[in-house]
Each structure stands twice: as C-alpha cells, then as structure tokens.
C-alpha cells in the first residue's frame, strides 16, 4: 500500500471534469423495472457531510492500491467516525459481508481473483450492504448494465472521473442518492456503441449470447444452460438474425466488445452472469414449469422473484423414456 501522501493517477487531479448527474428520462422512469434494478440518477441537492453520520461501517474492496489510497483519504475526510475495513479479493469480500453487513460498500468491478459483479449481486440480494458504489475502468455495455441491474446505486468511471467526481459519488450515494459517470449514462440510455444489443435481445437471448460468446458450440452451450440442443440452436439462430451476424467469429467478437465475455489469464469470465441467469426464464413447450438454467443453484436462488416463478424444476424426459420407463 502506498503512503497516504501518494497520489493516484486516476483520482488525483481535483481539476478533472466532473460529469453532471442528468435527470432521468421520464419515459424510462415509467417503465416497469426488475426488483433489483437501481433507478437512473436524479438531480439531487448538494449533500451536507453531516448527514453521512449514519454510515458506521464501510467496506472497501479495491484491487488498485493507488485508487484504494485515494478512497481511504476521502473516507477519512467525509466519514472520520466510520469503521473502514478492506478486502482484496472475492473470498475476503464474501467473508467480511457474511460476518457483518456494511452500511456502505465501495468495490471495484474486478478484484485480484477475478470478476466481482456476482459477489456484489449476492451482497445486494442478501441485503449485506445498504449502499453500493462500483469503481470500474470498463465501458462495455454489459458491464455497465450488469452494475445497474445488480442494484448498485452508482458507478464511477476511473478513466475519466477525477477526485472531485469520486468525492461527489461518495457524498451523494451515502446520503441516499445516486451517481453515474456521464460515460455510463450514455451507455444506459443506449447512446454508446453496441448499445443496440441490450435493446434488441430478450433476457434469455442475452444470457445465451453470453454463454456462446466464448466460441462454444451448441452442445457445450446446451450442457451449460440445461437446455436441449435444438433449443440452443434456435436461440443462436435468433441472435444471429437480430444482430445481423453472419458467422460464429462475428458473434464472439461482438460478445467481447459488449463485455459479455472476457478472456483473462484465469480463463473465461462473464461479468454479471448471475444477474443474466436470474432474468432468464426459458419457455417450456410441454406444459412443464420453466426450469432454471444449469449452474450454481444457490446463485439462482438469490433472486426470489425468478426463483418463485420457476417453482420446482421438473426433470426433462424424452418421449421414449415416458412411453417405455423400463428403458
């Protein structure tokens, strides 16, 4: 950890431009939102630092030492009364949240042991943190939409926001408001590149797109999703048609640009895959209740609205096995 006097290249300049928090789109505000979907930012009055006195426990999980030092200095300035705990990886973050809930969680989108969005989704779904601020350098649409859908109250673009922007985010979110960097607002409004992907694909198609986006064939995708080979083939065909893709290479390239898939030294990562899984209820053609996708069922159970609608997953049986149970 660098000394407190060292300055972070991302948050050091007080003169850096601070993105204004725009008014939310009235049409978007009227549309129904999933249970864990944080509202778009609204114009807030300047926050009085005294009103942050209710934040007694702050948990910080930031992988960059310089950024972490900047956050610590701001917390010492705005919340001198608070108990501040640090976590470096997903295991430490999960352990700290399980031991005791945090009033304010400030976390990087990626930690030293990989993508942290699913851990943050767990924390919000289990009410292990009251307020959540995410720091990220990534601008892929899926990453920003995942941060929003997991219930975060805001996100800071560490590539463009200065120390003043980070301080404003802490104050606004700590006081019950929201803060999203201007670059992220453009993505949430569909103004950024590849924003059409989130608009034209259904939640189930987006989930299948994330699974097939690493170049997997239909059989591998079917095993991962718990669907039939024919169903995955039909989903792939619809994705190609809606996105006007000609071959698998274009599908993989677009999945990477959208942030659905990330190739790292640890392997393939899919940011926010638990949130995508929770929003995906696949239709059944045989009158059976929708079955949750294959994978970690504990992650799926984090989202009560979807888990309730799915009910008890019935095992799929082939027509031959139904007619001849002895086979």
* CATH number of the domain where residue 105 is located: 3.40.50.2300
Domain boundary among 146, 170, 188: 188
Are residues 184 and 265 part of one domain?
no
Which pLDDT value is given to residue 238?
A: 94
Boundaries of domain holding 89:
26-188
Most confident of 45-49, 66-70, 83-87: 83-87
* 137/181 Cα distance (integer angstroms): 11
Residue 133 — very low, low, confident or very high, per pLDDT cuts 50/70/90?
Answer: very high
Are residues 166 and 31 part of one domain?
yes
- Interval 217-245: pLDDT, tens: 999 999 999 899 999 999 999 999 999 99
Are residues 212 and 145 part of one domain?
no
Helix (H, G, I), strand (E, B) or coil at 259: coil
Are residues 279 and 177 part of one domain?
no
Are residues 247 and 224 part of one domain?
yes
Average pLDDT of the chain to the nearest whole number: 75
Contact 182, 161 (CB under 8 A): no
Tell me whether residue 298 is in a domain.
Answer: yes
List, in order, residues 6 or more apart from 79 with CB less than 8 Å away: 52, 55, 58, 104, 174
Tell me whether residue 4 is in a domain.
Answer: no
Tell me whether residue 158 is in a domain.
Answer: yes
End-to-end CA distance of the chain: 64
Tell me whether residue 145 is in a domain.
Answer: yes
Are residues 165 and 30 part of one domain?
yes
| The token pair that represents 316 in the structure block | 């799929």
| pLDDT value at 309 more than 80 | no
Are residues 202 and 174 part of one domain?
no
Residue 33 — very low, low, confident or very high, per pLDDT cuts 50/70/90?
Answer: very low
Are residues 221 and 178 part of one domain?
no
Are residues 205 and 163 part of one domain?
no
Are residues 138 and 48 part of one domain?
yes
Tell me whether residue 136 is in a domain.
Answer: yes
CATH number at residue 266: 1.10.10.10
Domain boundary among 162, 188, 214: 188
Domain boundary among 188, 217, 245: 188
Tell me whether residue 13 is in a domain.
Answer: no
DSSP 97: H
Range scoring the smallest mean pLDDT among 175-179, 219-223, 322-326: 322-326
Distances (CA, A) of 300 to 71, 291, 293: 32, 11, 8
Q: Dihedral (C-alpha) 45, 176, 154, 92: value to the nearest 10 degrees?
A: 150
Are residues 269 and 179 part of one domain?
no
Residue 48 — very low, low, confident or very high, per pLDDT cuts 50/70/90?
Answer: low
Tell me whether residue 296 is in a domain.
Answer: yes
* 61/107 Cα distance (integer angstroms): 5
- Interval 288-303: pLDDT, tens: 444 444 443 333 333 3
More confident of the two residues 21 and 208:
208
Residue 226, number of CB atoms within 10 A of its CB: 15
Element spanning 170, H or E: helix 163-174
Are residues 128 and 256 part of one domain?
no
| pLDDT value at 72 more than 60 | yes
Work out how many domains the chain is built from and give that number. Answer: 2
Which pLDDT value is given to residue 283?
A: 63
**Mean pLDDT calculated for residue range 185-198:** 80
State the burial class of residue 24 (Cβ atoms within 10 Å of its Cβ: 0-12, 13-18, 19+).
middle
- Interval 139-148: pLDDT, tens: 888 899 889 8
Residue 212 — very low, low, confident or very high, per pLDDT cuts 50/70/90?
Answer: very high
Residue 107 — very low, low, confident or very high, per pLDDT cuts 50/70/90?
Answer: very high
Tell me whether residue 12 is in a domain.
Answer: no
């Amino acid at each position: 950890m660098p000394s407190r006097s060292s300055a972070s290249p991302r948050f050091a300049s007080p003169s850096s431009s601070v993105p204004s928090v725009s008014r939310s789109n009235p049409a978007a505000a009227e549309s129904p939102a999933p249970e864990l979907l944080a509202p778009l930012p609204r114009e807030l009055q300047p926050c009085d630092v005294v009103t942050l006195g209710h934040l007694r426990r702050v948990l910080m999980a930031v992988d960059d030492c310089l950024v972490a030092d900047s956050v610590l200095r701001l917390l010492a300035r705005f919340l001198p009364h608070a108990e501040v705990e640090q976590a470096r990886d997903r295991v430490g973050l999960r352990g700290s949240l399980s031991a005791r809930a945090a009033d304010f969680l400030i976390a990087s989108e990626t930690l030293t042991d990989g993508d942290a969005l699913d851990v943050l989704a767990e924390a919000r779904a289990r009410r292990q943190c009251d307020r959540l601020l995410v720091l990220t350098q990534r601008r892929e649409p899926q990453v920003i939409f995942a941060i929003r859908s997991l219930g975060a109250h805001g996100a800071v673009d560490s590539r463009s926001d200065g120390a003043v922007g980070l301080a404003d985010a802490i104050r606004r979110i700590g006081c019950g408001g929201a803060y999203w960097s201007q670059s992220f607002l453009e993505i949430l409004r569909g103004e950024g590149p590849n924003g059409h992907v989130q608009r034209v694909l259904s939640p189930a198609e987006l989930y299948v797109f994330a699974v097939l986006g690493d170049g997997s064939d239909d059989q591998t995708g079917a095993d991962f999703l718990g669907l039939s080979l024919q169903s995955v083939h039909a989903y792939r065909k619809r994705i190609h048609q809606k996105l006007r893709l000609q071959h698998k290479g274009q599908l993989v390239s677009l999945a990477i640009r959208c942030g659905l898939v990330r190739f790292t030294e640890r392997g393939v990562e899919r940011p926010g895959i638990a949130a995508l899984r929770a929003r995906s209820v696949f239709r059944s053609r045989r009158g059976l209740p929708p079955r949750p996708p294959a994978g970690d069922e504990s992650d799926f159970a984090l989202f009560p609205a979807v888990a309730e609608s799915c009910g008890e997953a019935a095992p799929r049986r082939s027509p031959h096995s139904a007619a001849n149970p002895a086979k």
